[in-house]
Chain A
Amino acid sequence: MTSPTITQVLLSLVLVAISIAVARWWRIPVAKDMALGSVRTFVQLIAVGYALELIFDLESLWLIALAILIMITVGAHAASSRIKQSEGAFQITFAAMIVGSLFTLVAMLLLDIIPLEARYVIPLAGMIISNSMNASALAIDRLVSDIQSNRPAIETALSLGKSWRVASGKFQRDAATTGMISILNFMKTVGIVALPGAMTGMILAGAEPLEAVLLQVIVAYMLLSSVTITSIVAVELTVRRFFTPFHQLR
């Protein structure tokens, strides 16, 4: 595929119009969200496009770090706003995403899987951060909900002399699993049900399919790492807020 033109972008708005029309016909109250979402998609991506061009041209380490920090901050804000009990959620999601994302990125750089160039680091960081964002929101939400609805089970365990870690162990594991479930499902069906984004993008850009597949395998492993670490850190930081140093459920 050759580079898309602005005319092609405008023509693709036909699909947005069809979606809005169908939603209205079915009386699904999302027409406004669809319209706004489409405008936001355009504006945000165009802005990002210019920002990336600048970052790629300057090739400054500081600029790469700043871009990653902004992505994580915005991601943590989005993740924490989706958590029902949001007190302290931003700090937790931010810390979990920093650990999960940076560990994975640094490991990939140290193992020489990707070069330290903005063209590689920024897009991959974007994928890592967006997946970590979903993982932390899902894991924290599940943990908060489980602990709140299982007070009798937890307090029974505590009353029998179990530590808070043991008493809440099942709920911690369930929450971490919830955070990881989408990447695990993705890995089960990848290539069979759908061709993933990175691979599709490369193929559309003219790369050989096998070359695209290899990159996609790396991306899948990278996401598994970041989502696993982010979920566990998010659960670990959240669960501690529920207990006192005397193993009492707050």
Chain B
Amino acid sequence: MAKRNSSLNTDIPILETVRLSRSVRDGSGTKSVVDHFSFSFEKGCIYTIIGPSGAGKSSLLRLLNRLDEPTDGEILFGGKNTREYSPCPLRCLIGYLFQTPYLFPKTVRDNFLYADSELPSGTVESLAEQVQIPSSMIDRDVETLSIGEKQRVALARLLATDPEVVLLDEPTSALDPSYTESIEKLVKDIISRRTLTVIMVTHHPEQALRMGGETILMVAGRLVESGPCEKVITDPQSEAGRLYKAKQLK
């Protein structure tokens, strides 16, 4: 298991991006998917990232997990440039939950042990309990699980790496409304139990309001507005924010 970096200074942001940019080649040339994104994420806080489709929200999360390489700018984890970390242990500290969960074949237990084969005794059960998976399900074949159950297993598997930051990429987009509510509650519950920083991408401003914390509005790869979620969503100060509120950018 990747151990938490207890030496991290609590006065400095847990995660910080400095003019973070990523460009990709497409049919018509080079497109900037994340454009000079600078922001400081504080330890133990929840952040929601909203914006229209193609705003670069998921691309930003992929950069933070180092699944993609920025073309410019920096990411600092605990004040240290992530380029100075080895990518594999860093990804344990900055966990990433995909929009559509992928579970490895076999059982729920096997998935937890895939994340960390040396989980201490009782941890599998504890992880399952944290995401409200009944103990009877731990040794079930993952193929028999519903999409909502799979998302919970994927979340618990992510927690098995003992992350400091959790990146959630539209974790409820594939779920029924009933599951959506329970996952939201679960995330808030986990934050209250562990001192986790959660950065969650969502398509729904209402969801950002339910999650609370701070909200970042992204448009065309750029950060256009950030602040308390109620303010950004209900009383945006920027023109792009007002347009988004009026759903013109959707």
Contact = CB atoms under 8 A, between A and B. Distances in A.
What is the predominant secondary structure among interface residues of chain B facing chain A? Answer: mixed
Contacts of A249: 67
Interface string A139-171: 000000000000011011111111100000000
B92 A161 contact: yes
Given A246-B66, A248-B67, A161 B88 contact: yes
A247 interface: yes
B102 A158 contact: no
B147 to A, nearest CB: 14
B83 to A, nearest CB: 9
B92 A160 contact: yes
Given A158-B67, A159-B67, A247 B102 contact: no
Given A155-B67, A244-B69, A248-B66, A160 B98 contact: no
B114 A246 contact: no
Given A152-B102, A153-B104, A246-B87, A160 B69 contact: no
B71 to A, nearest CB: 13
Contacts of B158: 160
Contacts of A244: 69
A244 B87 CA distance: 11
Contacts of A246: 66, 69, 87
B115 interface: yes
A246 B89 CA distance: 12
Interface string B112-156: 001100000000000000000000000000000000000000100
Interface string B83-116: 0000111111001101010101000000000110
B2 interface: yes
Which bucket holds chain B's interface residue count?
20 to 34
A159 B95 contact: yes
A161 B69 contact: no
B85 to A, nearest CB: 10
A36 B33 CA distance: 53
A160 B102 contact: no
B98 A162 contact: no
Contacts of B67: 155, 158-159, 248-249
B88 A156 contact: no
Nearest to A244: B69
29 contacts: A152-B100, A153-B102, A153-B104, A155-B98, A156-B98, A156-B104, A157-B114, A158-B91, A159-B65, A159-B91, A159-B96, A160-B91, A160-B92, A160-B95, A160-B114, A160-B115, A160-B157, A160-B158, A160-B161, A161-B2, A161-B89, A161-B91, A163-B88, A244-B69, A247-B87, A247-B88, A248-B67, A248-B69, A249-B67
Interface of B: 2, 65-69, 87-92, 95-96, 98, 100, 102, 104, 114-115, 154, 157-158, 161
